Amino acid sequence: MTHLQKQFSQKNSDILYKLYNFNMSDDPFNEEKYKVAPGLIYKYHGRALWLISKICAVHCDFCMRGRLTKNKSLNPYLSDVKIDQTLKYLGKNPEIREVILSGGDPLFVPQDYLKKIIFGLTLLQKNNKLDTIRIHTRLPVVRPKMIKSWHYRLLAKIKNPYLVLHINHPSEITKDFVQVSDNFRKKCVALVLSQSVLLKGINDNQETLCELFTELVINGIHPYYLHYIDPVPWAEKYRVSFKRAVSIWQSLRPKLSGLAATAKFVIEAPGGMGKVTIPDKGWNTSYSFYNDFLGNKFKP
């Protein structure tokens, strides 16, 4: 891996530890570096991330991919030729067993466009060149009425689909959202999970997170990830100090049932070297540094 030589600066001298100086940039996890085919990012053995869109129904101002969603000059979709190129790459690299569709929002795209992508991936599944298709979306949360019957019919073509919903606050668990989630589970036989971001002034307290994870479980959704906010400059106002974040997490875990406590609190390692799980207070740790999957040492 190439050493990162950029200087990382942040409020209150909260800096990365050593081996790399890391610059808060618009692509902190080197997604562009690991692009192997149109929209396809391959960093971890066995799974690849496919960014099929650059637009969403709502643009969160803490989004890690603001470099894409905020750039109005970029074509929001891949051409048919580029889709075929990526599907061909996947077919020739059978060590990739899982594809994660993201963006932008992969459900906030035209029907025929998504149909071409899903049909291509399910064909790989049928030919035993792909095992798992996972879709990350916020559309059912922020605009549930935009989920149409064709979404269910299309995702039902996938063998054992996984749907990961981005939801940050219990107030987002509306009747319409719950109905859409139920439909995905019943009509598509999808495993529905959630991912959330710890946000200053939004959900950075034990009570809010406890209600969020508990209500998700009540409605058949498996809490999957709680993310420590990514180091992009436009998200700084939402950053919770790492010390306080750990304190919130430690106070939260004993309040949750085993089902609601399935979420992992993770921090993305600089350079895109994986999500590192932050342990609870049951472990004797200083929380002063962590290692990525290559053994590189960082200060949070």
**What pLDDT is stored for residue 97 in this prediction?**
98
Question: 126: how many CB neighbours lie within 10 A of its CB?
Answer: 10
pLDDT class for 46, splitting at 50, 70, 90?
Answer: very high
Burial of 249 (0-12, 13-18, 19+ CB in 10 A): buried
Which pair of tokens denotes residue 138?
């916020």
Q: Which residues contact 79 (CB under 8 A, 6 or more apart)?
A: none
Which percentage of the chain shows pLDDT scores above 90?
64
**What number of CA atoms fall less than 13 Å from residue 136's CA on the CB side?**
17
**What pLDDT is stored for residue 12 in this prediction?**
30
**What pLDDT is stored for residue 284 in this prediction?**
67
Model pLDDT for residues 153-200, shown as the tens digit of each residue: 999 999 999 999 999 999 999 999 999 999 999 999 999 999 999 999
More confident residue, 78 or 290: 78
Which percentage of the chain shows pLDDT scores above 70?
84
Model pLDDT for residues 246-283, shown as the tens digit of each residue: 999 999 988 999 999 999 999 887 766 678 888 777 66
**What pLDDT is stored for residue 34 in this prediction?**
87
More confident residue, 75 or 219: 219
For range 207-225, the mean pLDDT: 97
Give, in degrees to the nearest 5, the angle at Cα 298 between 169 and 64: 35
**What pLDDT is stored for residue 271 in this prediction?**
65
Closest CA to 29 of 283, 269, 279: 269
pLDDT at 71 over 90: no
Task: Please report where in the chains the tokens 């075929």 appear, as a residue.
Answer: 84
pLDDT class for 235, splitting at 50, 70, 90?
Answer: confident
End-to-end Cα separation, the chain, in angstroms: 21
